[in-house]
Amino acid sequence: MRLLGIVAGGLLYASVGHAQAAPRTADQLIARFRQAHESKALQSVLRLVYWGKAEPAMHASLERSVTADFKRAIKRMKVEFVPQPGADQGITSTSYLVGVKDGVYFLVTAEPVAR
């Protein structure tokens, strides 16, 4: 799964509609996120997430974060490759990681790893 960062150049990030096809491009993911954010549709945003093996605590954390962001206006959104470690981009915004799996764009979360 390739990881990308989605940067809402001012304040927020990504979404999905109700019975829509999975987003196959970054532009589709952005449009779905914007639509869900503007209508404060938490479940629509959460349908954009590839949960993998994320634990319940990760689900709850992401729900709190997305809900808190609903009070913010989206000024600009884009999907970009995550910068190299240590690169200071000077970006102040909310960001979510985005992955592509089997041609579908998802918001991604952390998963526990085996020790």
24-51 per-position pLDDT tens digit: 988 998 999 999 999 999 999 999 998 8
Taking residue 26's Cβ as centre, other Cβ atoms within 10 Å add up to 18
For residues 57 and 63, give the distance between their C-alpha atoms in angstroms, rounded to a whole number: 10
Per-residue pLDDT tens over the stretch 77-108: 877 666 556 555 555 556 777 778 888 888 77
- Helix (H, G, I), strand (E, B), or coil: what is residue 45? helix
Give the start-to-end residue ranges of the domains of the chain: 2-87+99-108
User: What pLDDT, on a 0 to 100 scale, did the predictor assign at position 111?
Assistant: 64
Pick 10 or 104 by higher pLDDT.
Answer: 104
What pLDDT band is residue 4 in, cutting at 50, 70 and 90? very low
For residues 105 and 68, give the distance between their C-alpha atoms in angstroms, rounded to a whole number: 23
Whole-number Cα distances in Å, 7 to 18, 93, 115? 23, 7, 32
Q: Tokens representing 103? A: 């041609």
